[in-house]
Copies of this chain bind each other. A is one copy, B any other.
Amino acid sequence: MTFANDDPVTLINVFTVEPADQQRLVELLATATERSVRFAPGFISARLHRSLDGTKVTMYAQWRSTADYEAMRADPAPLPYLQQALAIAKFEPGMYEVVGTFEPGT
């Protein structure tokens, strides 16, 4: 991986969870983001989603660079929330670039 690229990076992190634990997982991720992650250098925006079938919670976030995101992941402040989240969920991370956007056709 290179850190030379200054394009924004999109993180799409999918957590798989038992439906009984979905609400608690939403609260843990919301609290981690509200109290800690959004203050990190390079954080641009994030949106948290709950799957209608109860089995997933997905965070969609944009960061200034992969280096900024990785610096936040190395910060101990959000770690307690993430450790609680990983006790009840399976975490599948993804680091992306946007390759296309689509508007409604007429």
Number of interface residues of A (CB under 8 A): 41
**B52 to A101, Cβ gap below 8 A?**
no
Contacts known (A56-B96, A60-B60); A49 close to B12, Cβ less than 8 A: yes
Cα(A38)–Cα(B102), bound, Å: 7
Assembly of this chain: how many copies? 2
**B56 to A103, Cβ gap below 8 A?**
no
8 Å CB interface, A55-106 against B: 56, 58, 60-61, 66, 92, 94-105
Residues in B whose Cβ lies below 8 Å from that of A102: 33-34, 37-38, 45-48, 61
**A48 to B99, Cβ gap below 8 A?**
yes
**B12 to A58, Cβ gap below 8 A?**
yes
